Structure 1
Amino acid sequence: MALKKFPDLRHFAWESTKSQKWETSSQRSASGRMRTLTNQLYPNWTITASYNCLTDAEARQLHGFAASVKGAFEPFLWLDPEDYQEKGRPLVALDGTRYQATMKLGEHVEPVEYIENVAVYVDGIRQNPSSYSIDGGVVKFKTTPAGTVTADYTYYWCVHFADDGLEIEKIFQDANKASLTLEVVR
């Protein structure tokens, strides 16, 4: 099943918060030595976005989208206003013909679920789009490439609403505001 895309409302006033959380266990021995353990490869991300000026039509579009994914029930694709694009990013080889797209935040790298606007390069030479296909966040070559594979792309976060409700406040004629909390789904 193809995931739905969140409506493109990035051109309006927005504020956002992105937080990460790790499930880490700590144990301190009698000698004072500390041991830590986590079974997570990637953090739990929570994104809060505020839209301060939605038109009535956009508010209806947002209500309709939330209803179509049944609140927190169905994951969807979110194009983050700040973290959404990679240029010249090395792809991770999964096997001889499949390569995973990733995002990099500082030194942290993690796979992405969905990419578009893709340009693929092997040893810096742009490849003809007929030589590969895109499946979610994976680039699939028809034949094994000989060289370093990099790409430029727009990536989406796979998220769901953190709760089942959505509230949009009407502040004036044809002016509404809303705040959303999203959680990354893997």
Structure 2
Amino acid sequence: MEKLKIFPQIMSLAWKSTKGQKWNTVLKTSGSGKGRSMTTWQLPQWIITTSFAHLTEEQYKQVMGFFATVKGGHEPFLWLDPEDNKEKGVKLGTGATREWQAIRIWGDYIEPIYHIKDVKLYVNGVEHSCEVDNGLIRLHAGDEIPQDATITADYSYYWKVRLSGDTFTAELVYKNIMKSKEMKLVTVR
């Protein structure tokens, strides 16, 4: 698994964050007016727009240094979104298999996720030890569970993102207090 940098945990994000999704849909219309559509993407690109309401001098240097290490939008990194970062009681399948893909659920839409932490696996509601690798949650070698067991899990997840563009800007508001301009993060696969 690739080793990605993790964005620093700074809990002063502004309330004005937004999240959107983008698909790559191609529309074709024939001479008769009939239309066809096709998407070339299996999963959407998520766009997260946010800013920091206030940063101490230390936090300001930490964020500026982080974006310098990833070279703006050049290198992807992991973002623990303060709003969307947990799944709890997610039904992953049954004991008929020994491994399950972690997922993020948005209503009827389900998306695989590959960067998870703090995993708790449950077999018929009872916590069970497990291994995690690239979003796959699996039983330890030799562990046996009933094939008809219901498998659920709780976990936190990171978004794999990059800075859209190469610019991050912060401004001095008051002595040793900064705030950032809007920053846009886009998911990468």
Which residue is 2:66 aligned to? 65
CA RMSD of aligned residues (A): 1.9
SS at match of 2:26: strand
Output one character per residue of 1:91-117: Cα deviation in whole Å (capped at 9) or x when no partner. Answer: 268x93321101111222111121111
Residue identity opposite 1:141 in structure 2: L
Which residue is 1:161 aligned to? 163
How many residue pairs get aligned? The number is: 182
Which residue is 2:188 aligned to? 185
Which residue is 1:134 aligned to? 132
- 5+ residue gaps in structure 1? none
SS at match of 2:16: strand
Divergent runs of 4+, >3 A: 11-14
Q: Do the aligned partners of 1:17 and 1:47 also contact (CA within 8 Å) in 2?
A: yes
Residue identity opposite 1:152 in structure 2: D
TM, length-normalised to structure 2: 0.88
Q: Do the aligned partners of 1:92 and 1:101 also contact (CA within 8 Å) in 2?
A: no
SS at match of 1:15: coil
- Structure number with the higher strand fraction is 1
TM, length-normalised to structure 1: 0.89
For 2:59 and 2:42, locate their aligned partners in 1 and report how far apart those are by CA, in whole Å. Answer: 37
Q: Do the aligned partners of 2:13 and 2:50 also contact (CA within 8 Å) in 1?
A: no
Output one character per residue of 1:123-177: Cα deviation in whole Å (capped at 9) or x when no partner. Answer: 22211x2xx2111321121246432321011111000111122211111112111
For 1:173 and 1:48, locate their aligned partners in 2 and report how far apart those are by CA, in whole Å. Answer: 26
Q: Do the aligned partners of 2:14 and 2:50 also contact (CA within 8 Å) in 1?
A: no
- Give me the identity figure in percent: 40
Q: Displacement, 1:10? A: 2.5
For 1:174 and 1:2, locate their aligned partners in 2 and report how far apart those are by CA, in whole Å. Answer: 34
